[in-house]
């Protein structure tokens, strides 16, 4: 399951825009993935410029 690595996320919001399921939100400048909505497509893993999401 795609997870945000704390400390690497810069809160840029790129993953929010790329997620086909709109499973990502930003809270306190950190991306948060809703596991109930995420279907593990891993598009966000490749989209994050900081390597902050591990698949
Ligand atoms: S693309 Fe990466 S750095 Fe940007 S908000 Fe998403 S997880 Fe954070
Ligand atoms: S793995 Fe896919 S569905 Fe899950 S948060 Fe990332 S882009 Fe969205």
pTM to 2 decimal places: 0.95
Note down the domain range covering 36: 3-54
- Average pLDDT score, the chain: 97
Rounded to the nearest angstrom, the distance between the alpha carbon of 51 and the centre of ligand 1 is 8
Q: Is 24 exposed, middle or buried (0-12, 13-18, 19+ CB in 10 A)?
A: buried
Kindly state the tokens that stand for 28: 């306190």
* pLDDT above 90 for 47: yes
Q: What digits encode the pLDDT tens for the residues 11-30?
A: 999 999 999 999 999 999 99
pLDDT of 31 > 90? The answer is yes
pLDDT in the model for residue 39 = 97
Structurally, how many domains does the chain consist of? 1
Mutate to test the pocket of ligand 2, among 17, 22, 23, 55 (most ligand atoms within 8 A of CB): 23
| Ligand 1 mutation target, pool 3, 4, 22, most atoms within 8 A of CB | 4
Q: Is the pLDDT of residue 2 over 90?
A: yes
Give the domain CATH number at 32: 3.30.70.20
Nearest Cα to 4, choosing from 20, 17, 16? 16
């Amino acid at each position: 399951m795609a997870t945000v690595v704390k400390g690497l996320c810069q809160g840029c919001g790129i993953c929010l825009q790329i997620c086909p399921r709109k499973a990502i939100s930003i809270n306190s400048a950190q991306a948060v993935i809703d596991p109930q909505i995420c279907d593990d497509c891993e598009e966000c893993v490749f989209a994050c410029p900081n390597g902050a999401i591990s698949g």
